Structure 1
């Protein structure tokens, strides 16, 4: 169990990061300490050798100027001063003449010049004569066989070396301690955040699509990651909710025509007196129902393709004023047949970046929707007035159904607006009617599938356009604001 826990800890990112930081800082600290110690030792050694050489030259000059007595006098005077300097004068037999050195290896005085290694010696007058010291020395032979030794005690240098060694050891323990602190910090802060994200992810995978990754408002990379993933999760939740609603709506709205189609076929087949004419009528009605179902599924597929922002949907610079005029001219004969008035004011040279087929379909859906409900509303008003004309002293017939299509610009957007004088849409239902298969109660008796405005909403979303529904008093004002584009000679579709 302990080995398993250790392996688990060693596999964590916190442990690996802490180990990497420990190794990096250890290498850096070791290099820094060794570099400083080495260069300090070199500098101290150079200074010692330079000082010794300077003193040797001074003493030799004194010997040449005043002889042995002058040299001995200077040596005795300097030997009584406290410090790290060493002096020794011996005769040709090696006997002590002057200085502050009591004993040193015999081979040292046989050398000439600087001795290339540290020499052990005993101080003259030291209480403990067994205590050994180390020094770097320089030997010079004077006239008459007398020899002069000048040196410097290296105890300070050894003390510095020990200080460096202690600093190295303390730094090592300090680095390990700081690495443990870093590991604890990363474990408690970073890994806890990761665990929170993992827990939230498991809840989401378990079906809780409304769950979101935690955001601590710290503004760090985990918050930015959580924000991005939460936006993605919201999008996924919306798509899943839309899929559920589509499934429910298909089951509800398409069940009726399918059931009606089946019942008609069953009744026709069960009729004993059915002749060729009855069968033909049944087949024609069945064909109409089938075509209506096919159109519904085609609309669903088109909406799904548009909402998925398919890469196959190509965009170019369009003159939406020309498109609106084309659609209005197309529906003008239909409006006349229905007894409605269709007008438009759509100046050309109003460019947007979009797909011509989809934008045209959206404009056609808006005109068709406005025409259908405005005509029905005016007809109902006329009928209601005729039913109560005997109770009124003055009779005023309702106006004709009117639909107006216009295109204008406002703050960098091209606004396509379709107005009608129909029944309008209540404020609380204006966002709901943009969803698939949504049909208000008062319009369920009208033919249609409830997908027209859904396609308009999908096209607007694909083109990054905003939709606004307002009251026309009476009727509805449906506006779509597209981003305005500057025309170019190569990508603009001519009207």
Structure 2
């Protein structure tokens, strides 16, 4: 990836912002640790000096000048980092490991700082830094007790140097990490952009690659792929609808035109004209019914009917549909059984739910077993509550049923199986039921009724049972 493109990415800029915040917090923490460590070492040094001074002053108070000189000489033999010097009123050294009184500068707390020459083991002379406290004693004596702080200064310098390298390493690693993260993220976003361009170019089968990491980009890719699948299904459905309309509606339109043309070509009685017009009106009604079904499916799939949703008495809706189709079933020699739980209310679209139930009953009446077949023709309409999961509407028959491999296909528009070719219809009934079920967030299942078919509309949105609520009250 070009450097200028990498530097201009939002991910890299966010990485730099995060790095700056991290450096600020880390630097504050390191500065606190340094200040705390250096302060502890300084306090330890000062405590040691004050303790040594107090001990020597106590020796002087107890044993006088001779005890003090002896104490200074004794401590100076093994001084470690401590420095001692005792002078009389004439400036002559009485004891200690300093040869002369050093040039000193004092700070605000009364502590004196100076440098002095120190001989190493190899015999070389080094200039070291020290701090000390001077005490005036009786008889004009001056006592200087100090400590070499060169090692402390070196330790502080090493800590400061280490902190500097640590901050520098954090900056370098942060920039490299930001570049790597940005490069990987930009590469995945480029995959999305390339896929989008390919799809806009007409390759509708392209999908965004999923790495399997399960992160936000993968979730976005999966959601976009699901959306693309839905778009592809809708476009294929539109193409199929166009082809099916051209194929299935051309024949009735041709019949309608030919009938009218034949009627006009020869002299006919008024009764013959009336019959031709009645058949033409019947053909036109079938065409209008087909177009109305297509419009209802389109509204349901587009979600345009959601604004018309309200609480619906699903039990009463199914009861009305049963009363409407019961005479039709009796005329066809079928028995309609009901298993409707009373008082089930559901938040949905009244007209579309009523149309879906009506389509299922109409479909069952057309395909249920008739007298003379195997057993009595029975259709069963059931409505039951599923509590917080919603409600369920099912219509079953004991007709020939639908093979498992055809159950998904019959939900498409204008799909009619071979055994249905001789029955009236446009092949839109189950397609409308499927669209209405998806509109309500549910699932449509086609099951084996052994024998026959059982169609179940699982309505997933919240339903409420009036009788249960009344009992609770």
Q: TM-score, with normalisation over the residues of structure 1?
A: 0.79
Say whether residues 1:307 and 2:301 are aligned partners. yes
Alignment of 1:253-272 (within 5 A): 253-263=248-258, 271=265
Say whether residues 1:250 and 2:245 are aligned partners. yes
1:231 to 207, 219, 226: 226
2:426 aligns to what?
Answer: 449
| Post-superposition offset of 1:442 | 5.4
Alignment of 1:72-151 (within 5 A): 72-105=69-102, 115-123=110-118, 131-151=126-146
2-side partners of 1:194 and 1:339: how far apart?
Answer: 61
Does structure 2 conserve the Cα–Cα contact (< 8 Å) formed by 1:118 and 1:136? Answer: yes
1:172 to 148, 167, 173: 167
2-side partners of 1:433 and 1:112: how far apart?
Answer: 97
2:208 to 207, 210, 213: 213
1-side partners of 2:439 and 2:469: how far apart?
Answer: 19
2-side partners of 1:335 and 1:145: how far apart?
Answer: 133
1:387 aligns to what?
Answer: none
Say whether residues 1:351 and 2:348 are aligned partners. no
What per-residue deviation string (whole Å, max 9, x for no partner) do you get for residues 115-156 of structure 1? 444212234899979743221111122223221111111112
| Post-superposition offset of 1:343 | 3.2
1:55 to 41, 52, 60: 52
Number of positions where the alignment pairs a residue of Structure 1 with one of Structure 2: 462
CA RMSD for the aligned pairs? Answer: 3.9
Deviates more, 1:139-148 or 1:62-71: 62-71
What per-residue deviation string (whole Å, max 9, x for no partner) do you get for residues 336-376 of structure 1? 5x55334323354273635443333233223333434569x
Structure 1 or 2, whichever has the larger Rg, is: 1
Q: TM-score, with normalisation over the residues of structure 2?
A: 0.82
CA separation of 1:491 and 1:316: change in aligned 2, threshold 3 A:
farther
2-side partners of 1:280 and 1:23: how far apart?
Answer: 89
1:477 to 453, 456, 470: 453
Does structure 2 conserve the Cα–Cα contact (< 8 Å) formed by 1:86 and 1:152? Answer: yes
2:411 aligns to what?
Answer: 434
CA separation of 1:101 and 1:479: change in aligned 2, threshold 3 A:
same
CA separation of 1:92 and 1:430: change in aligned 2, threshold 3 A:
closer
CA separation of 1:127 and 1:17: change in aligned 2, threshold 3 A:
same
Deviates more, 1:176-185 or 1:118-127: 118-127
CA separation of 1:248 and 1:445: change in aligned 2, threshold 3 A:
same
For the residue of structure 1 that corresponds to 2:134, the secondary structure is strand
What per-residue deviation string (whole Å, max 9, x for no partner) do you get for residues 57-98 of structure 1? 222232233333332222122112141111112232323332
2-side partners of 1:432 and 1:440: how far apart?
Answer: 9
CA separation of 1:230 and 1:78: change in aligned 2, threshold 3 A:
same
2-side partners of 1:75 and 1:399: how far apart?
Answer: 126
What per-residue deviation string (whole Å, max 9, x for no partner) do you get for residues 287-323 of structure 1? 4444333222111111122233431242435354x54
CA separation of 1:256 and 1:449: change in aligned 2, threshold 3 A:
same
For the residue of structure 1 that corresponds to 2:414, the secondary structure is coil
1:407 aligns to what?
Answer: 382
2-side partners of 1:482 and 1:127: how far apart?
Answer: 95
1:458 aligns to what?
Answer: 435
Does structure 1 conserve the Cα–Cα contact (< 8 Å) formed by 2:344 and 2:465? Answer: yes
1-side partners of 2:447 and 2:152: how far apart?
Answer: 90
CA separation of 1:236 and 1:77: change in aligned 2, threshold 3 A:
same
1-side partners of 2:229 and 2:454: how far apart?
Answer: 27
2:333 to 340, 345, 349: 340
2-side partners of 1:417 and 1:125: how far apart?
Answer: 105
1:161 to 156, 165, 189: 156
| Post-superposition offset of 1:50 | 2.4
Gaps of 5+ in 1: 379-396
